[in-house]
Structure 1
Amino acid sequence: MAETLTPWRDAPQVLCALADELAAKGWLPATSGNLSVCVRQHPLALAITRSGADKQHLTPPDVIYVDSELRVLDAVDPSHRPSAETIVHTKLYQALSCGCILHVHTVYNNLASEVYFAEGAVSIAGHELLKALDHWEPDACIQVPIVENLHDIPALADAVLAAVRPGVPGVLVRNHGIYAWGDTPAAAKRYLEAFEFLFQYVLTLRLLRG
C-alpha cells in the first residue's frame, strides 16, 4: 500500500461521511468504534473520532487531531479527548504505509473472533470476494489474525501490530472488533466491507455444515 494523506481541513467531513455509511450498516452501535485518517506522516498527525462520540450521529466537532503521543493538536471543543484506543491507530500508522484506519464492533466479527480464536486466525479460501482484498489468484487464501482483547491498551496495540500479516489489511480483537486499514478512506472501507461479508459467510457455512 502507498499511503495517501487526507488534507487537514477535509478530515472531519471525510470521517463524518464514513461514519454515516458504517452506522447505516449497524457497525457503530452504542458509541463503539473509532475512525481515523492520517493527515501528516512526519511528524505523525491524525484526525480521529473523539472519545465518547456517537458515531451514528457524528459531526465535524466530534473529530480531533492528535500526534503520536496522543496529544491533542486541534479540537473545536477543548474538553474533547482521544479514546484510549487511539494508540492502536498511532502504532499502525507509524508501522504501515496506510492512510485510514477503521475500527468497528459487529456481531459477525465478534462471533468470528471467538469461534476461531483457538486457531489464531479466520481462514478464508476460494471466495470471489477475496478479490476485494486484492487477492486475484485462483487459489487465494488468507488468514485474518485474531488477538486477545487485552485491557492494557498499549499492550493491545503491540499485540495488534505484531499480528499484522502481509496482504491482510485487518486484525480481529477477540470479542471486541476489527481494525481494518487502507491507503485511502475508500480502500479501508472496501476492505472492511469485504471482511464483514466474509466473516458472515464462513460462520453461516460452518453452521450449515454442522
Structure 2
Amino acid sequence: MSLEITLEHKQQAFHELRSVKELFAARNWFPGTSGNLSVRVGDIQDERFQFAITASGKDKTVHTPEDFLLVNELGQPTERTSLKPSAETLIHCEIYRLTGCGAIFHVHTVFNNIVSELYGEEGYIPVQGVELIKAFNIWEENAKIEIPIVPNYTHIPSIVPYVTEKLNPAIPGIILRNHGIYAWGANSFEAKRHLEAFEFLFEYVYRMKALR
C-alpha cells in the first residue's frame, strides 16, 4: 500500500503545528530553540508511517516557510530538503510506533525539569488526588498516577530503549530527567490537553513539596 502524502494532508499538518507552536511560544515553553512538535500524517500501514515535525535549530517564537518537514518512521526526511529534523526525532518515532498516537508535543519548562530531578532516582513522578488527572481519562476517586522518568543522554539513540521500557499506555506522557516532557494524544487537541495537564501537575507537585 502506498504511503504517499497529499499536499492537502501536508498543509493541514503544518497548519496544526504552526498553531500549536504559536500558542506554546506565547507561554514561553520554547526557551532558546528547545522543544519539538510533531503530527502524524496519514495512517500507519504495516508499521510504516510519516509525520510532520519541527526543524532543528529554529526560533519557535517566529514563523518562517522552513519551520517543519516530513519524516518517515525511521526519522528520515521523505522529501528533498535542506532542513534537519529535530535531534530528538527518534524519540517521536518510538512513541508513534508504541502508541499509534496522532501528535506528540515536547517542551522544556522549569517545573518539569525540577520535579524530574526531585524524583529522578524513583524513576517516576507520583501524583494523587489532583483534579487534572481526569484530563487523561482517569476517573477513579483519589486517583494516583506515576509519570515515568527516563535518563537523558546527548546521544539520543541511547534514550530510545528506556522509552520503550518505561512508556505506560495509560499515561500519555514520559519525561526525560532534567530535560522535558513528551506528551501525546490521538490528535493535536488531545496532545495539547495532555501537555497542559502535565504542566499543571508538575507545578502542583513542586509547590506542594515546597510547602511541606
Q: How many residues of Structure 1 are paired with residues of Structure 2 in the alignment? A: 203
**Candidates 186, 192, 196, aligned match of 2:195:** 192
Once residues 181 and 125 of structure 1 are traced to their aligned partners in structure 2, the CA distance between those partners, rounded to angstroms, is 21
**Candidates 51, 60, 68, aligned match of 1:55:** 60
2:75 maps to amino acid: L
Once residues 63 and 168 of structure 2 are traced to their aligned partners in structure 1, the CA distance between those partners, rounded to angstroms, is 31
2:102 maps to amino acid: G
2:126 partner SS: strand
Percent same amino acid among aligned pairs?
45
Is 1:172 aligned with 2:175? yes
1:90 maps to amino acid: C
**Candidates 33, 44, 51, aligned match of 2:35:** 33
**Candidates 7, 10, 13, aligned match of 1:11:** 13
Q: Supply the RMSD in Å over aligned alpha carbons.
A: 1.6
Of structures 1 and 2, the one scoring higher in RCO (CA 8 A, sep 6+) is 1
Once residues 199 and 125 of structure 1 are traced to their aligned partners in structure 2, the CA distance between those partners, rounded to angstroms, is 12
Once residues 32 and 147 of structure 1 are traced to their aligned partners in structure 2, the CA distance between those partners, rounded to angstroms, is 18
Q: Is the 8 A contact 2:99 2:169 kept in 1?
A: no
- Aligned residue for 1:20? 22
**So what's the TM-score if we normalise by structure 1?**
0.92
Listed as ranges, the gaps of 5+ residues in structure 1 are: 1-5
Give the drift of 1:8.
Answer: 2.4
CA pair 145-17 structure 1, distance change in 2 beyond 3 A: same
**So what's the TM-score if we normalise by structure 2?**
0.91
Give the drift of 1:60.
Answer: 4.5
Q: Is the 8 A contact 1:29 1:56 kept in 2?
A: no
Matched ranges for 1:86-165 at <5 A: 86-165=89-168
Give the drift of 1:161.
Answer: 2.5
